[in-house]
Structure 1
Amino acid sequence: MIHINKVREITGVTVRTLRYYDKIGLLQPASKTQGGHRLYTINEIKKLQQIQFFKKIGFSLNEIDNMLTNSDWDWSEGLKGQLSFVLKEQRRLKKIELSLKEIIHGIAIEGEDNWNAIKKIMQLSVKDKEIQQSYRESIFDEKEKKLLEKLPKMTSENSNSLEWIGLIGQLKRFMKDGPESHRVQNIIRRMEEKRLEDFEGEDEFLDKLWEIRKSPQQSEKLSFYPIDEDLLKFMDDAYAIYLDRLGKEEIK
């Protein structure tokens, strides 16, 4: 006979849990000591391992009890049903994961204004995805749709997206320095380098995209993260200064 405390050591299942299993009739001890301590045999240990396994793959205690005691239990249907549940849960958790990433990256852009980032993500989440997809289909041709896939995404963890998010966040943080400041111009320079890395020769597409981005209504229809109009104007001014300085350097 194996004492309940030893069972806890062997299996990692707490004494409290073992007592609960006994109470609901899921796993009863083989006997008890004179002092009332529960004693188990190898058979109960094996059953406990089965309970732990089925609990690990998501079955409820009631379902596990039926599985282990009901000879009519349909294992195939039961496992298929559990798999269906797990797949649905994965999809639900994936949506939560993407929402959390959007909020985290939104905060990286908004800086200290965390609530503003959350409000913007909430605003995006209630939009009809089918309408957004339809709008996208109506204004971009096939080549442009492929280019859209290269744009940074608020839900992505790839280095390209994270750098773009960081650059926009830095730009907002240094707006007080003015568009001509050294720090701002360094950010614009890096943005231009990244633009050339990913979209060299696609100026027509980028000009079209920038006009859409400057329109809150159109940006919303395409489910773009809402960037404040004052920041977009600041980027426009800073980029114009960057190009002007670049042109003067080339003349020299």
Structure 2
Amino acid sequence: MIHINEVAKQTKITVRTLRYYDQIGLLTASSKTEGGHRLYSEEDLKKLQYIQFLKGMGYSLQDIIGMLSDSKWNWSNSLKGQLGYIIEEHKRLKSIESSLRELINGIAIEGGDERLAVQKLIQLSNQNNKRMLTFKESMFNDKEMENWTKLPKMNGEDPDSMEWIALLGQIKRLMKEKDDPASSKVQNIIRRMLEKQAEEFKGDDDFMDKLWELRKSPKQSEMLGLYPIEKDILDFMERAFDIHIASRQDSPMQGGES
């Protein structure tokens, strides 16, 4: 027989939990010491392993009591039901994970302003998904729809999405700090944005130009499900892009091509 303290040590289950299992009739100790301490047999330990295994699959203690005490328990139906529950719970948790990532990334864009990020994400969540898809398909051809899948995602954790979000957050911060669109800090960000655009969209300028025009329209941008960006920020970015492109055209290396 094994003392309750030794069982707790071996199984990493607290004495308090073992006592509770005994109280509810889930695992009753086979014997007790003269001092009243619970003693467990090898069979008790096997049953405890069984309990922890079922608990790890998400079953409640009350369910486990029924499973282990009812000889006519339908294990197949029970396991299928539990699997269905776990699948639905997985979907629910994935949805929560997606929302958390969106909020974290939204706060990054808004420079730590969680209220503004929440307001914008609520605005997006109120959109009708079917209507958004219909509008998107009406605006882009099949090739452009393929490019759409490459755009950064607010709920993404991939390096590209994270970098785009960081770059946008930096642009917004610099604009609030009254930086000039022609400043070296802003131009370095614009340069990196153009590099990423070239890397990911392989020079498909027509798609990017169309997307930018749609992005500048608050209504169309919302219909596409894009994260809302204020007009003054978009105007600031456009001026910065124009300055960057003009500087490239005026540089000596570009002179022969103009």
**TM-score bracket, shorter-length normalisation:** over 0.9
In the TM superposition, 1:59-78 aligns within 5 A as 59-78=59-78
User: Which residue matches 1:208?
Assistant: 210
User: What SS does the corresponding residue of 2:13 show, helix, strand or coil?
Assistant: coil
Q: Which piece of structure 1 moves more, 88-97 or 118-127? A: 118-127
Corresponding residue for 1:129?
A: 129
Shift of 1:19: 0.9
Which residue does 2:221 correspond to in 1?
219
1:166-205 alpha-carbon deviations (Å, 9 max, x no partner): 1111111111111111110111111111111222342221
Gaps of 5+ in 1: none
Q: In the alignment, which of 208, 231, 234 is matched to residue 233 of structure 2?
A: 231
RMSD in angstroms over aligned alpha carbons? 1.3
In 1: Cα distance, 2:128 partner to 2:16 partner? 48
- Tell me the secondary structure at the aligned position of residue 39 of structure 2: strand
Tell me whether 1:244 sits opposite 2:246 in the alignment.
Answer: yes
2:211 maps to amino acid: L
Secondary structure at the aligned position of 2:27 is classed as coil
Q: 1:122, 1:20 → 2: CA distance?
A: 44
Using the TM superposition, give the Cα deviation of residue 6 of structure 1 relative to its aligned residue in structure 2, in angstroms.
0.9
Is the Cα contact below 8 Å between 2:197 and 2:203 reproduced in 1? no
Letter in 1 for 2:217: S
1:146 alignment counterpart: 146
Matches within 5 A, 1:48-197: 48-175=48-175, 176-197=178-199
Aligned pair count reads: 252
The C-alpha deviation readout for 1:47-77, integer Å capped at 9, x for no partner, is 1110000000101111111111111111111
Q: Quote the offset at 1:131 in angstroms.
A: 1.9
One-letter code aligned to 1:190: R
Looking at structure 1, the residues matched to 134 and 63 of structure 2 have their Cα atoms a distance apart, in angstroms, of 44
Check whether the contact 2:216–2:231 (CA below 8 A) recurs between aligned residues.
yes
Q: Which amino acid aligns with 1:251?
A: G
Q: Secondary structure at the match of 1:207?
A: helix
Distance 1:99 1:123 in 2: 13
Instruction: Tell me the CA shift for residue 128 of structure 1.
Output: 2.1
Q: What is the alpha-carbon distance in structure 2 between the residues aligned to residue 38 and residue 199 of structure 1?
A: 68
Distance 2:26 2:199 in 1: 62
Secondary structure of the equivalent of 1:19? helix
- Counterpart-to-counterpart distance in 2, 1:197 and 1:25: 64
Shift in Å at residue 208 of structure 1?
1.1
Distance 1:112 1:77 in 2: 49
Q: Identify which range, 29-38 or 54-63, moves more after superposition.
A: 29-38
**TM-score, length basis structure 1:** 0.96
Give the Cα–Cα distance (whole angstroms) in 1 for the partners of residues 65 and 126 of structure 2: 42
Q: Which runs of 5+ in 2 are unaligned?
A: none
